[in-house]
Amino acid sequence: MRDTKQVPAFDLTVTRPDILGAEFLGEGTNFALFSDHATKVELCLFDDSGEHELHRLELPDMEGGVWFGYLPGIGPGQVYGYRVHGPYAPEQGHRFNPNKLLLDPYARELRGQIKWDDALHGYQVGEDDLTFDTRDSAAFMPKAVVVDAKFDWDTDRAIRTPWQSTMIYESHVKGLTQLHPGVPEADRGTFRGLGSDAVIEHLHRIGATAIELLPIHAFANDRFLVERGLSNYWGYSTLSFFAPHAPYLKSGQIREVKEAIRKLHKAGIEVILDVVYNHTAEGNELGQTMSFRGIDNASYYLLSPDNPRHGFDTTGTGNTLNVAHPVVLRMVMDSLRYWVEAMHVDGFRFDLASTLGREAQGFERDGSFFNAIRQDPILSSAKLIAEPWDIGEGGYQVGGYRWPFREWNDKFRDDTRAFWRRDPGLLPAMAERLSGSPVQFNHSHRPATSSVNFVAAHDGFTLWDTVSFNDKHNDANGEENRDGHDHNLSDNLGAEGATDDPGIIAARVRRVRAMLATVMLSQGVPMILAGDDLGNTQDGNNNAYCQDNAISWLEWDKAREDILTAVQALAAFRKDVPLSQSRFGASPDDAQDRQPAFLWLHPRGGTMEEGDWQDAELRCLGLHQATPGGPNLLIVINAGEDAEFALPEGEWTRRIDTSAEQVEQDHSVTGTLTVPWQTVMALVAAGTPQA
């Protein structure tokens, strides 16, 4: 047993400044922390509980702003934190306060939770932020833990599912598993539940090839939420970019994450992480001092050029991470590589990615962050998805990223919702969405899989709520229904919320199936929000970020089989055809080898004419698609009343009909096709080669 009374001594012959964080090297641990403006850095060692500080040791060396030291005999399980000395000069951007225990930005595992107290602030709460607080914050802080990286991955390798074969299921570790009857009760809400047979069986059933997880990096439950009896359910308040969120770990150990990923990989399912590198949990200058602010505020955060006392906030959270700084950029890159190489994740969805591309002159798609990823042989081969906006000036950048990034396409979401709501004049927009949004993405050699297509995501109404509510109902959030946006493009179809009216329920099911079919049958990469395949509701809450309860958890016992079987049939069809192409379609005259040929058809027969596109009341359209090496396809959408559609010459097999009780079809048709209201159909020409 390690002697905790003897003061450990640094070995200066072994210590290394090039390995940031706490790295166990076999017989001891190397500690290294970057702080360009510090005057002294103290390493604090705690007992196993993290409640008692045993030793406070000054890191013995510094090079290039990296403070470092090697401690023999210190290994996995050691709990630690830092105290950093330097100027407390807020008007110059410096907020050093050694009374505040600080979390290592490279911590791999955390022990304990934040206990909200005014002592966590570097200034005296109730006074302005120029004051200085002398209280010790250690009792209220989670601590870092030295870890052993060893893990038997067996034969686990990256799956690398091609983008044109990818279907994403956006999920929450807890929300997906908390009420699942097939997940052992003790494993619900954790990574063990995520890797359960029951979850994998469902992913296989709906054809998902990748699960995209809302933030799993350790995050803070914001104080204002805790004081209202709520919590940060979504997790967009990062505390550590390397450590997983402890409540998602049944044992508290990171090996649970690895075990879940290994099991999902064995089932052929990729794991994508929603990551938040644009801001942290520390808020603005009136926020807490828990890590970056106390380590080196002026290096880790973007500060106002006019008054460095204040942050430069493009995220709406109070602070913006300064990824233009080379060492901060390195931290983000190290984090990404860690999750790929050590944790075997397959890709990332970057929250508010436009912030990551902000340089001195504004957003730059060739900025240092994006270029660093594009040149990295490890990261450039992972799946990379941008949320292509932030709230800053010039932040909306849909279509503005370079390969290999894909992008969430909110234009697809909005146009699809409005079209199926029967808004007029949307056929030209829907032609764009069905063909992969080429106006946005067909440039700079980008593939036709650049658009991630969705009609609902974690932020906003669920798909079922889109057809059940005209207005948001966010009263449970405690903000008098002021939070959340009002641009829902929804339609309750006759009753606000739940109803027993069979006609309204049938209409809702039909519209949901039509919108899901639009996602699954369009060019690009389909993404379905977990629960939309079940008909899940959040009771009209379109901003459930703070609802860690039945509002957000999936109610598996209320799953709508008529929606679930539709998703299953659509996924099978998309895989069987195959529908998605890597190259954008062209008119038959312009199509080249290996490039699909697209032809837009009017219900009367023949191609759409210029005047047809201007017909605001036309709501039925056909896409005739000839795919190299695959069958000729016909996708027909009809958001209006029942319509007669003149088929191209020849025999066709109707494979998908979202208006039918059984969406999956196998019916031969010729001549004229009756397309019922609010319906999507997919047909395959007889005699064309099958994939």
pTM attached to this predicted model: 0.95
3-state SS track over 587-607: CCCCCCCCCCEEEEECCCCCE
Give yes or no for residue 39 having a pLDDT over 50. Answer: yes
Span 536-552, mean pLDDT?
Answer: 97
pLDDT > 80? residue 585: yes
**Three-state SS letters, 34-83:** ECCCCCEEEEEEECCCCCCEEEEEECCEEECCEEEEEEECCCCCCEEEEE
Closest CA to 435 of 517, 521, 559: 521
Which pLDDT tens digit goes with each residue over 615-659? 999 999 999 998 777 789 999 999 999 999 999 999 999 999 999
387 in active site: yes
Edge-to-edge strand ranges of the sheet holding 21-24: 21-24, 28-34, 66-72, 61-63
Q: Across-strand partners of 69? A: 31
Q: CA-CA distance, 633 to 623, in Å (whole number)?
A: 8
Q: What pLDDT band is residue 367 in, cutting at 50, 70 and 90? A: confident
Q: Is residue 1 scored above 70 in pLDDT?
A: no
Q: What is the mean pLDDT of residues 178-200?
A: 98
d(CA 620, CA 420): 11
CB count in 10 Å sphere of residue 423: 16
Q: Mean of the pLDDT values across residues 3-8?
A: 75
- Residue-level pLDDT at 315: 85
Catalytic residue among 296, 351, 415, 465: 351
Which pLDDT does position 288 carry in this prediction? 97
Residue 555 has pLDDT above 90, yes or no: yes
> Residue 310 to residues 33, 131, 301, 305, 394: CA-CA distances in angstroms?
24, 15, 10, 9, 21
Encoded amino acid at 502, one letter: P
Backbone angles phi, psi at 440, to 5 degrees: -80, -35
pLDDT by residue (tens digit) across 285-317? 999 999 999 999 999 999 999 999 999 888 888
> What pLDDT is stored for residue 691 in this prediction?
38
Contact assessment for residue 464 and residue 512, using Cβ atoms and an 8 Å cutoff = yes
Model confidence band, residue 4 (pLDDT cutoffs 50, 70, 90): low
Q: Which residues contact 529 (CB under 8 A, 6 or more apart)?
A: 170, 454, 456, 457, 458, 462, 463
400 DSSP assignment: -
The pLDDT value recorded for residue 68 is: 98
Stronger pLDDT, 136 or 313, i.e. the higher one = 136
pLDDT reported for residue 3: 56
pLDDT > 90 fraction of the chain, expressed in percent and rounded: 89
Instruction: Summarize pLDDT for 80-117 with one digit per residue, the tens.
Output: 999 999 999 999 999 999 999 999 999 999 999 999 99
pLDDT the model gives residue 202: 98
Residue 267's Cα: distance from chain center in Å?
21
Token pair of 127 as six digits:
């006074």
Q: What is the mean pLDDT of residues 347-367?
A: 88
Residues linked to residue 586 through DSSP beta bridges, in sequence order: 597
pLDDT at residue number 417: 98
pLDDT at 491 over 50: yes
Q: How confident is the model at residue 690 (pLDDT cuts 50, 70, 90)?
A: very low
- Is 351 assigned a catalytic role? yes
Average pLDDT of the chain? 95
Determine which one of 23, 104, 387, 612 is catalytic.
Answer: 387
Give me the percent of the chain exceeding a pLDDT of 70. Answer: 99
CB atoms within 10 A of CB 381: 14
